[in-house]
Amino acid sequence: MPSALRRYRALEARQAFGWVPLAGLLVGLLLIGLCSLLLPRLPASAINLMEQVMLIHGMGAVVLVNDYLAIYFVAFFVGAAGLMRALVEPREERSLELLLSKPLSRRAFLSARVGPVLLAVATVGLGMTVATGLSAVPYAAEEGVSVLGALGAGLVLSLLVVLLLALLVIPLLLVRDTFQGYLAAFGFWMVPMVPVAVLIYRPDVFVGNESLRALLAMPANLVWFDAAMPVTSLILLVVAIGISWLALGLGARLFERTEPR
Amino acid sequence: MSARFLWLDVRATLGERKTLLAAGLMAYAVLAVPFLVAKPPEHVMAAMGTWFGASEPFTLFLYLWTDLAMNKLVVILGLVLAGGLVTRERETGVLAVLLSKPMSPVRYYLVRALSACVVMGLLYVAGHLVAAPLVARGVPGFRAGTFFASMAVHLFAAFFCVCFSALMSVLVPKRSLAALVSLLVLFSLVGGSFAGIYNPAWREAALVNPFAHGVTVVTHMAELRPGHVLGSIAVLLGFNLALLALGAARVRHLEV
């Protein structure tokens, strides 16, 4: 790699690891701390309801489900904000043309801008995963809850977020306004949450479709298959890298054909 | 002049593609919520009885409509409508031109924030007017009065999202960071809307959260009095005016 390109990549990486992931990580750790602090203080009836609707057992599982939601929520929006800064804002500010007038291919630009954002998201996910692992420690004696499982599930969610964000790059290359971008991001974030809403309020839909339920009802399923989480996270690592690479390749081809205005 | 500017800005925003996308999200809620409440499990209905003093299909509907759909929708719409106020104009280089008109930055900020509230209000109320007849068919025991009373109060929580996003856009130096802070703070507050219901011991403390006031019609569904509606609207109006005043104070010192 020419040294100028290396320096450019380093500059982009420094931009991606700024205040956005730091603020996200701080809020994320705060939310996980609050889950551990507040959930055990809820009345037994509220905890029972959460156990019944999510098909889980014990306070440890209830705390973990909420921690998992926090990871999914924070990591995703940290990434969405990072991608807006990297891809949509320069277009809105009419600075993209100027950036691309340098001897820099669009593919190189895209990978230098998106790669570090995805890495920053993974770092936020990892930090929150460690905190989730710690929040599982007091409940490790409960059946179906383990520190290793919590760490694995945190990684699974972080990787899922990276994968979703890599796919989100494609619509973000098409919009000219950050707010359309945020609406697209919200749509991407919401879709994986639909099955768990169905699980809670319309469990009849999944009767006879137990394998579909096991696959889709995130984050409850991460607790159901606690023991399998470490292995699942390793498999998903390969899948997420592969699909992200494909999505970015597709994005680069699309980007080469779009007007940078 | 401000009135004409407000009118032009509302009209321009209504014509933007993001507003169309936002209306699409509203339509999605209209379709999804009646499906979710069609066959609730027994333990969910029992919880409705414990929390809201009634376990009818309409109780669950209003809870889900407000908490699952509208609470999330207003956060994202607030950001979309007011997230880049003033800073977006500054970074795209048009702010200096706009402020060369006989209009102070403070007035510009307030008119734009008000315009975002008007668009939010139009989308929100139109969504409810379209939803009501459709939902009334799908949800047995649908009570239009309670539904629109809830809309009237929650509308001011929607305005809170607009005012908060507008404040963040002038308070936080970077646009992406401002948007992230808006999303994280507002979604976290939304998550605590019903904290005082889930644990009655927290009822008093939960009222520092504006969204706890936004859902007041849901929490007092069984014995709703005009005082609940008007009191919560007054509290939310206070929150919103405070946010607007803070934003205006900040804009006064903003460099163009």
Burial string for A203-242 (b: 16+ CB within 10 Å, else e) reads bebbeeeeeebeebbbbbbbbbbbebbbebbeebbeebee
Distance (Å, rounded) from C-alpha B68 to C-alpha B61? 10
How big is the A-B interface in CB pairs under 8 Å?
120
Place of tokens 């321009």: B12
Q: Which residues are CB-contacts of B223 (< 8 A; sequence separation ≥ 6)?
A: B53
Q: Where are the domains of chain A?
A: 3-257
The answer to whether the beta carbons of residues A53 and A199 sit under 8 Å apart is yes
User: Per the CB < 8 Å rule, is B183 touching A46?
Assistant: no
pLDDT over 90 at B22, yes or no: no
Among B177, B189, B199, the residue to mutate for chain A (most A Cβ within 10 A): B177
Distance (Å, rounded) from C-alpha B148 to C-alpha B145? 5
pLDDT digits (tens, 9 = 90+) for A58-93: 999 999 999 999 999 999 999 999 999 999 988 888
pLDDT over 70 at A260, yes or no: no
Radius of gyration of chain B (CA): 19
B88 or B164, greater pLDDT: B164
pLDDT digits (tens, 9 = 90+) for B42-53: 999 999 999 998
Q: Is the CB of A142 inside 8 Å of chain B's CB atoms?
A: no
- Give the single-character DSSP code of A140: T
Place of tokens 């309670």: B146
pLDDT digits (tens, 9 = 90+) for B206-244: 999 999 999 999 999 988 999 999 999 999 999 999 999
User: Per the CB < 8 Å rule, is A180 touching B79?
Assistant: no
The answer to whether the beta carbons of residues A227 and A143 sit under 8 Å apart is no
Structure tokens at B177: 């960071």
Torsional class of B85: left (φ above 0), alpha (ψ -120 to 50), beta (otherwise): beta
User: Per the CB < 8 Å rule, is B84 touching A179?
Assistant: yes
The answer to whether the beta carbons of residues A130 and A124 sit under 8 Å apart is no
Mean pLDDT over residues B68-82, rounded? 92
Nearest-Cα residue of chain A relative to residue B51: A46
Distance (Å, rounded) from C-alpha A4 to C-alpha A2? 5
Among A182, A200, A205, the residue to mutate for chain B (most B Cβ within 10 A): A182
pLDDT digits (tens, 9 = 90+) for A147-158: 999 999 999 999
Reported confidence tier of residue B23, pLDDT bands at 50, 70, 90: confident
Tell me which residues of chain A, numbers 38 to 57, contact chain B at a CB-CB cutoff of 8 Å: 41-43, 45-46, 48-49, 52-53
Nearest-Cα residue of chain A relative to residue B94: A93
What kind and span of H or E run contains B166?
helix B144-171
Q: Which residues are CB-contacts of A102 (< 8 A; sequence separation ≥ 6)?
A: none
Average pLDDT, rounded, for chain B: 90
Task: Select the residue of B44, B81, B188 nearest A53 (Cβ to Cβ).
Answer: B44
pLDDT over 90 at B17, yes or no: no
Mean pLDDT over residues A219-242, rounded? 93
Q: Is the CB of A259 inside 8 Å of chain B's CB atoms?
A: no
Reported confidence tier of residue B32, pLDDT bands at 50, 70, 90: confident
One-letter amino acid identity for A174?
L
Q: What is the DSSP string of A212-253?
A: HHHHHSTTHHHHHTGGGHHHHHHHHHHHHHHHHHHHHHHHHH
The answer to whether the beta carbons of residues B43 and A49 sit under 8 Å apart is yes
Task: Select the residue of B92, B179, B200 nearest A92 (Cβ to Cβ).
Answer: B92
Q: Which residues of B touch A197 (CB under 8 A)?
A: 36, 68
Average pLDDT, rounded, for chain A: 92
Structure tokens at A189: 């974030």
pLDDT over 70 at B256, yes or no: no
pLDDT digits (tens, 9 = 90+) for A87-134: 998 888 878 877 777 778 888 889 999 999 999 999 999 999 999 999
- Give the single-character DSSP code of A176: S
- Give the single-character DSSP code of A58: S
One-letter amino acid identity for B158?
A
Q: Is the CB of A20 inside 8 Å of chain B's CB atoms?
A: yes
Q: Å from B37 to nearest chain A CA?
A: 7
User: Per the CB < 8 Å rule, is B18 touching A49?
Assistant: no
**Length of chain A as a residue count:** 261
Nearest-Cα residue of chain A relative to residue B39: A202
Q: Which of A232, A227, A84 has its CA nearest to residue A157?
A: A232
Q: Which residues are CB-contacts of A73 (< 8 A; sequence separation ≥ 6)?
A: A189, B187
Among B161, B180, B185, the residue to mutate for chain A (most A Cβ within 10 A): B180
pLDDT digits (tens, 9 = 90+) for B88-140: 777 777 777 777 777 788 998 999 999 999 999 998 998 899 889 988 888 88
For residue A219, whether the previous peptide bond is cis, meaning omega lies within 30 degrees of 0, is: yes
Place of tokens 């009065």: B145
Structure tokens at B86: 């003033």
In sequence order, what E strands does B62-208 have? none
User: Per the CB < 8 Å rule, is A201 touching B44?
Assistant: yes
ipTM score of the complex? Answer: 0.91
Distance (Å, rounded) from C-alpha B253 to C-alpha B256? 9
Mean pLDDT over residues B182-200, rounded? 94
Torsion of CA A122, A128, A130, A135, to 10 degrees: -160
pLDDT over 90 at B19, yes or no: no
User: Per the CB < 8 Å rule, is A180 touching B35?
Assistant: no
